[in-house]
Copies of this chain bind each other. A is one copy, B any other.
Amino acid sequence: MLTKFIIDEVVDRALAEDLSGEDLTTMATVSADTRARATAKAKSALVVCGGDVFKRVFKRLANDLSFEVCEPDGALVKPGAPIWRVEGAARPILMAERTALNLVQRMSGTATLARQYVEAVPPGAKTRIVDTRKTTPGLRSLERYAVRCGGAHNHRDTLGSAVLIKDNHIEAAGSITEAVRRAQAYAPHTSRIEIEVESLEGLDEALAAGADIVMLDNFAPAEIKTAVARAAGKALIEVSGGITLPRIAELAGQGVDVISVGALTHSAPAADISLDIQRVE
Q: Encode A150-161 as 1/0 by CB contact (under 8 A) with B.
A: 000111111111
Whether the pair A137, B102 counts as a contact (CB closer than 8 A) is: yes
Whether the pair B24, A162 counts as a contact (CB closer than 8 A) is: yes
Chain B contacts for A60, CB-based, 8 A: 4-5
Q: Does A253 contact B (CB under 8 A)?
A: no
CA distance A3 to B58 in the complex (A): 11
Whether the pair B159, A17 counts as a contact (CB closer than 8 A) is: no
Known: A34-B172, A137-B10, A192-B192. A187 touches B28 (CB 8 A): yes
Q: Encode A4-46 as 1/0 by CB contact (under 8 A) with B.
A: 1110001011111111111111111111101010000000000
Whether the pair B172, A24 counts as a contact (CB closer than 8 A) is: no
| Nearest B-chain residue to A91, judged by Cβ | B1
Contact partner, A29, options B18, B134, B182, Cβ 8 Å: B182
Whether the pair B258, A191 counts as a contact (CB closer than 8 A) is: no
Whether the pair B154, A25 counts as a contact (CB closer than 8 A) is: no
Q: Does A164 contact B (CB under 8 A)?
A: yes
Whether the pair B191, A190 counts as a contact (CB closer than 8 A) is: yes
Residues of A in contact (CB 8 Å), total 101
| Nearest B-chain residue to A279, judged by Cβ | B171
Q: Does A69 contact B (CB under 8 A)?
A: no
Of A78-86, A93-101, A111-119, A223-231, which stretch is located at the interface? A93-101
Chain B contacts for A154, CB-based, 8 A: 188
Chain B contacts for A258, CB-based, 8 A: 189
Separation in Å of the A113 CB from the closest CB of chain B?
Answer: 12
| Nearest B-chain residue to A57, judged by Cβ | B137
Chain B contacts for A166, CB-based, 8 A: 25
Chain B contacts for A3, CB-based, 8 A: 15, 19, 22, 61, 95
| Nearest B-chain residue to A262, judged by Cβ | B270
Whether the pair B29, A183 counts as a contact (CB closer than 8 A) is: yes
Whether the pair A189, B153 counts as a contact (CB closer than 8 A) is: yes
Q: Does A139 contact B (CB under 8 A)?
A: yes
Whether the pair A156, B1 counts as a contact (CB closer than 8 A) is: no
Known: A130-B189, A135-B102, A189-B153. A95 touches B159 (CB 8 A): yes
- What are 18 residue pairs bridging A and B, where the CB atoms are less than 8 Å apart in the complex? A1-B32, A5-B19, A13-B137, A21-B157, A21-B161, A24-B160, A24-B183, A25-B166, A25-B169, A29-B165, A30-B172, A90-B168, A154-B188, A156-B190, A157-B160, A161-B161, A162-B188, A189-B192
Other contacts beyond A21-B161, A192-B192: 18, CB < 8 A: A1-B32, A3-B61, A17-B141, A22-B145, A24-B161, A28-B186, A36-B168, A98-B134, A102-B133, A130-B188, A134-B270, A136-B136, A136-B139, A154-B188, A155-B188, A160-B161, A168-B277, A189-B258
